[in-house]
């Protein structure tokens, strides 16, 4: 199977063709919003970080910003900064340049004379870049060029019974075709980490899987907190999940049956054609999806038993549910009903093939329901909820 996408100057393949208007901090976010509203083909997001952060916390933000600019779905980036934030323009530009050689322009609000002058300059840069991007022709590529992010949120028992195993089937199909699948959400490995670690491709990966889980639990315990006091969430419990271990056993099904070849830190660059890998992300859905997008995922498949509208500024998010009642109530938000697996009207193999075809269609340009609604939820992990 193949798809049609855009070959970038850094060799990666994108399935969207955006110009990113990147706010270097919260103080530049409204300016980038004004710019993006004036230029077709541009995207932006509200960056709540970028200043007043300790070094380790700031690094998470820097990695997401650089990763977004480097994501294959982005043609080029216009960086907008205030000028006095921690994430200084030269630091952001350098971090991006270390990941990609794609087009990049810079605007510093304090240096160009304020918001109106900054908007005028950034709009001019964005229009030039969008015009260049529009000249690109789609080419045919093998599915091995795809990096797939996998996520689950608002889980209920149908997530572990149908939706997550279906994502696992999709993951195995993509891996068998030479592609890459990312399993995320470290908090939701807890209680099942030993099962996941048994699938590690090497002793080093085995130890790394156990390390990221135990490090998270110990970090919370150091400040007198216990992860099980907030997880499962009230929605998980209302849906019928009873323990974190039960939730975790459902979560890891998203990784299918392939060996785990590597473990990546939050928002770090994932190598294509790597098979199944893990990214160390928190359980918060928007910040986990953001990390995988920063790591290079061109598309995310997201299961939700209770239902969710979540999207992303630069990556299409395909939503599936194993709960037929949720699909009936939230059909505006959910792309695929996985409940036929539970009721026996379709096999896992049949639905897996349907989902794989859906991913291929989205890679060729078909909008997800989140894209059609304009949903671009965005969050970046903080040290306080990540370490």
| 340: enclosing H helix or E strand | helix 340-343
For residues 38-53, average pLDDT: 97
Q: Residue 263 has which token pair? A: 């473990």
pLDDT of residue 239: 66
In this predicted model, what pLDDT tens digit does every residue of 295-351 receive, in sequence order? 999 999 999 999 999 999 999 999 999 999 999 999 999 999 999 999 999 999 999
| 263: enclosing H helix or E strand | strand 260-264
DSSP structure class, residue 337: E
Whether 15 has a pLDDT exceeding 50, the answer reads yes
CA 23 to CA 362: how far, in whole Å? 27
| 261: enclosing H helix or E strand | strand 260-264
Query: Is the whole-model pTM more than 0.85?
Result: yes
pLDDT over 70 percentage in the chain: 95
């Amino acid at each position: 199977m193949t798809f049609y996408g855009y070959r970038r100057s850094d060799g990666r393949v994108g399935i969207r063709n955006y110009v990113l208007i990147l706010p270097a901090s919260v103080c530049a976010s409204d300016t980038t919003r004004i710019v993006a509203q004036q230029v077709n083909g541009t995207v932006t997001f509200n960056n709540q970080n970028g200043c007043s952060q300790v070094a380790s916390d700031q690094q998470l933000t820097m990695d997401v910003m650089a990763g977004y600019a480097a994501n294959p779905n982005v043609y080029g980036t216009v960086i907008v900064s205030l000028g006095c934030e921690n994430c200084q323009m030269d630091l952001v530009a350098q971090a991006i340049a270390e990941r990609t050689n794609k087009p990049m322009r810079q605007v510093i609000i304090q240096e160009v004379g304020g918001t109106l002058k900054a908007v005028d300059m950034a709009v001019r840069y964005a229009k030039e870049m969008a015009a260049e991007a529009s000249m690109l022709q789609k080419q045919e590529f093998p599915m091995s060029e795809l990096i797939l992010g996998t996520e689950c949120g608002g889980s209920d028992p149908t997530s572990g019974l149908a939706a997550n195993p279906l994502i696992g089937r999709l993951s195995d199909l993509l891996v068998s075709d030479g592609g890459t699948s990312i399993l995320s959400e470290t908090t939701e490995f807890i209680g099942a980490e030993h099962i996941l670690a048994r699938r590690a491709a090497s002793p080093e990966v085995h130890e790394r899987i156990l390390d990221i889980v135990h490090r998270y639990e110990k970090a919370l315990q150091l400040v007198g907190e216990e992860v099980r006091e907030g997880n499962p969430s009230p929605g998980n419990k209302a849906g019928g999940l009873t323990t974190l271990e039960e939730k975790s056993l459902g979560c890891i099904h998203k990784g299918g049956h392939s060996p785990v070849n590597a473990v990546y830190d939050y928002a770090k660059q994932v190598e294509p054609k790597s098979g199944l890998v893990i990214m160390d992300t928190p359980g918060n859905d928007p910040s986990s999806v953001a990390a995988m997008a920063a790591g290079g995922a061109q598309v995310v498949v997201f299961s939700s038993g209770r239902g969710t509208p979540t999207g992303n500024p630069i990556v299409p998010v395909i939503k599936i549910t194993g709960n037929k009642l949720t699909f009936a109530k939230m059909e505006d938000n959910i792309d695929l009903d996985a409940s036929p697996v539970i009721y026996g009207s379709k096999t896992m193999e049949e639905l897996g093939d349907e989902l794989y075809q859906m991913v291929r269609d989205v890679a060729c340009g078909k909008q997800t329901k989140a894209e059609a609604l304009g949903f671009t939820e965005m969050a970046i992990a903080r040290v306080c909820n990540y370490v």
